[in-house]
Structure 1
Amino acid sequence: MSMTQEIFPPGEFLLEELETRGWSQIELSEIMGRSTNVISGIITGKRQITPDTAIQLGDALGTGAEVWMNLESQYQLSKVKKPDNLVVRKAYLYEKFPVREMIKRGWVEASDNIDVFEQQFIKFFNIPDLKTPPSFNVAAKKSNETNDLSIQQLAWLNRCKAIATSQLTKGYKESELRNALPKLNALLSAPEEARHVSKILSDCGVKYVIVEPLPGSKIDGACFWLENSQPVIAMSLRLDKIDNFWFVLRHEIEHVLHGHGKKIGYIIDNDDSFSPNNVIDEENIANLAAADFCVPNAELSNFVARVSPFFSEQKIILFSERIGVHPGVVVGQLQRKLDRYDFLRKHLVKIRNFVISGAMTDGWGFL
């Protein structure tokens, strides 16, 4: 039976069955061993057909119990109103966006008004309507099997953009950012020095934000540009390790210096290893600059040639002290170069608490 047709109460069908057989309500009640109030209640629609009653009706009338349960179910469903497809509209939002996580983070507010609720997602993702897929121009470093942005990554990027837009900084100058590289390099000696990154970048006109990643987003950092041609470096600190922080930061700085991601955004897979043979040229440039920033390539190559294959902890610490960087930064580059990610992992110290103490942050209890 089509849901668009009028649904009649089961009592009307029961009345037709009695008339066909020439039975009275009293006779049916005697056959079933039920009171006449039960039969009259079903016929008038004041009493619902229970499973037990459906079995008795089916036996008495030879129809089977399923007929009467189906008639009762269809009738009860027809009485339930569906105001403006509320359930359908909410289900669509939950299917398309990470709704619960966005509410939890305060990026959108829960609302009983579905129109208000939908408009929040339209505004957040800067789309004309919910049928339009969100997009974002970005040079991003992430880890998954596709170059397409997931909705979790798009949500993260849009939150980064919202925070960056509200941040006040001077106008961007490429020359000042290049001149700031030695200042940043001097911070590699200790994890607590990372708290100074925000001010150094801000003084160059680069907006710098830290946003906790959404579960499953697997995005490390991003470079994108606001409409006033001001660059933004966003980081997730997904991997809370000193080597990853500095590598990703310098990677994104190189994108800024070259103006990558201004017009056509792209996403590069990153499995936390340095694989120059399977990435595009712009990503290659950023990876090389990041690796050389962490440990100068000439120094690292010379060290490997002198020490290999006997990379003792003491030799690495002495080498780190000589070039003025934390041992964890050297270990991270050696892991990439040697493809040994179990190597001296204890030196890959956590850095997140130092980073967020000096940066505009959303997540981990901040903002």
Structure 2
Amino acid sequence: MITNDRQYKITKSQIETFEESLAALSMTPIANENIDPRLLELHRNAIEVQLHELLNQTKEYEDLKAGNIVVSEVHTLADLPLALIKSRIANGLTQSQLADTLGLKMQQIQRYESEKYETASLKTLIKIAESLGIKINADIQIKTIEAPDNLDIKNYPFKQMFQRKWFNNFSGSFNDAIIDSKNLLESLFERAGLSSFQYSLTKKSIRSNSSLNTFALNAWYAQVVIKAKEQFMISTFDKEVITERWINTLAHLSCETDGPVKAVDFLKNSGIRFVIEPQLEGTFLDGAALLLDNKEPIIAMTLRHDRLDNFWFVLFHEIAHIHLHLSDSLTVIFDDLDVKIDGIEHEADEFSLNALIPNSVWKKSLVRFNPSKEAIINQAKTLKIHPALIAGRIRRESGRYYQFSDLIGQGEVRKHFSLDF
């Protein structure tokens, strides 16, 4: 769903791209008779489906803004999140204007809407509904449950944490660790500056699936913060450093044999801490962007997919979060990039794709429609990037992940970093 004018403009641009792609495909059989017409038809159908979905989204947004759709009453709480978003648009309010009405920051409303209000309290939901003139008419059943123990060993992949030596020089056996588990877990969070893990949950954004183990995620987060604090930084971060030239310089490092290592040094020289911490069981993470002490940015990556195309895409995705989304009201963003989601995550995906291969170039690139190993390598040389970045984007957009496996840099990332996976 489109929730603001920025997303609307992005979607319109995507529609234009798909329409150009269809036009180019219609000319392809004439230009190259060797292409199997069945493949062209499949490609054309896939684009048409995506185009149809985008057109429906833009029409809904246009109708809401024009007042053709009115939301005045909600009969089930499950319908409330979308009703709030649609009503805000139908009332002619931007996210910033609604935030001003409620005494909140615009980023807070943006995050609420991107997450379909999952982290908003009932009090906040009711307040927003009242400000938008929505009547809630729903039956509510309340059930009391016991709060889980944040220090209960059963909630964590404790053995995995012990094997990684997360417990600050603890020298006892695993059985000894089990006996002293509460103290060890508490110490882990305290060293991260997260005593008893009582930090504000409203400052987190999680892109993951429903089977996520939040206890494991919290522990992983604590370990990342501990490792980040241990790093000595010679530069102080300034958001203004992330310019087009800075982005291009970083992307061009992908050509280097030791590109991932040089990328880490490049980030640290810009005041961005970088941590590699493999995922814990139950976390399904690719990476995270967070603020240390609400001001110093950290990029954390798990390298769960040992491929160059994935490394560079995740890296720029987290850079996007630092550049566009992290703030006093949103200090931690966790990412499972296999999960599709709108809002700030879609923006970060688009930022990453455009940073690695500019959209202006990609729209006109013939390699999109008739990809071959030779064409990918030549395009990469022209753009001064690694072929894995182009091969990875083709696989991502086409859904054909079996293609160009020899170009994506399989096994070419972890070897640069001395970690156990």
Question: Is the TM-score greater than 0.5?
Answer: yes
Match of residue 174, structure 1, among 221, 239, 244: 239
Instruction: Find the counterpart in structure 1 of residue 161 from structure 2.
Output: 102
Kindly indicate whether the alpha-carbon contact (under 8 Å) linking 2:317 and 2:352 is maintained by their aligned counterparts in 1: yes
* 1:322 maps onto 2:382 in alignment: yes
Cα distance, 1:228–1:94 mapped onto 2, change above 3 Å? closer
- Secondary structure at the aligned position of 1:175 is classed as helix
- Secondary structure at the aligned position of 1:340 is classed as coil
Instruction: Find the counterpart in structure 2 of residue 226 from structure 1.
Output: 292
- Secondary structure at the aligned position of 1:225 is classed as strand
Structure 2 unaligned residues grouped into runs of 5+: 1-148
CA deviations 1:1-56 (Å, max 9, x no partner) are xxxxxxxxxxxxxxxxxxxxxxxxxxxxxxxxxxxxxxxxxxxxxxxxxxxxxxxx
Instruction: Find the counterpart in structure 2 of residue 78 from structure 1.
Output: none
* 1:364 maps onto 2:415 in alignment: no
Cα distance, 1:115–1:152 mapped onto 2, change above 3 Å? closer
CA distance in 1, matches of 2:262, 2:157: 33
- Secondary structure at the aligned position of 1:233 is classed as strand
Instruction: Find the counterpart in structure 2 of residue 348 from structure 1.
Output: 408
Code of the residue aligned with 1:323 in structure 2: it is L
Instruction: Find the counterpart in structure 2 of residue 271 from structure 1.
Output: 338
CA deviations 1:259-317 (Å, max 9, x no partner) are 42642345455317xx5xx422x2222111100122222222212xx356432222222
- Secondary structure at the aligned position of 2:300 is classed as strand
CA distance in 2, matches of 1:155, 1:136: 18
CA distance in 2, matches of 1:326, 1:114: 46
* 1:294 maps onto 2:356 in alignment: yes
Cα distance, 1:294–1:163 mapped onto 2, change above 3 Å? same
Cα distance, 1:228–1:339 mapped onto 2, change above 3 Å? closer
Instruction: Find the counterpart in structure 1 of residue 101 from structure 2.
Output: none
Kindly indicate whether the alpha-carbon contact (under 8 Å) linking 1:192 and 1:354 is maintained by their aligned counterparts in 2: no
- Relative contact order, higher structure (CA 8 A, sep 6+): 1
Code of the residue aligned with 1:284 in structure 2: it is H
Could you tell me how far 1:162 is from its partner in structure 2?
A: 0.4
Could you tell me how far 1:100 is from its partner in structure 2?
A: 0.7
Could you tell me how far 1:116 is from its partner in structure 2?
A: 4.8
Aligned length: 260
Q: Give the alignment's TM-score, normalised by structure 1.
A: 0.63
Kindly indicate whether the alpha-carbon contact (under 8 Å) linking 1:139 and 1:224 is maintained by their aligned counterparts in 2: no
- Secondary structure at the aligned position of 2:259 is classed as helix
Match of residue 151, structure 1, among 204, 209, 215: 215
Identity %: 24
Q: How does 1:101-120 map to 2 (within 5 A)?
A: 101-108=160-167, 109=170, 110=172, 112=176, 116-120=180-184
Code of the residue aligned with 1:97 in structure 2: it is Y
Instruction: Find the counterpart in structure 1 of residue 45 from structure 2.
Output: none
Q: CA RMSD in A?
A: 3.1
CA distance in 1, matches of 2:270, 2:338: 30
Structure 1 unaligned residues grouped into runs of 5+: 1-89, 358-362
Kindly indicate whether the alpha-carbon contact (under 8 Å) linking 2:288 and 2:334 is maintained by their aligned counterparts in 1: no
CA deviations 1:63-110 (Å, max 9, x no partner) are xxxxxxxxxxxxxxxxxxxxxxxxxxx9x8331222111111111235
CA deviations 1:191-228 (Å, max 9, x no partner) are 52221112211111111111122234210111111116
Code of the residue aligned with 2:342 in structure 1: it is V
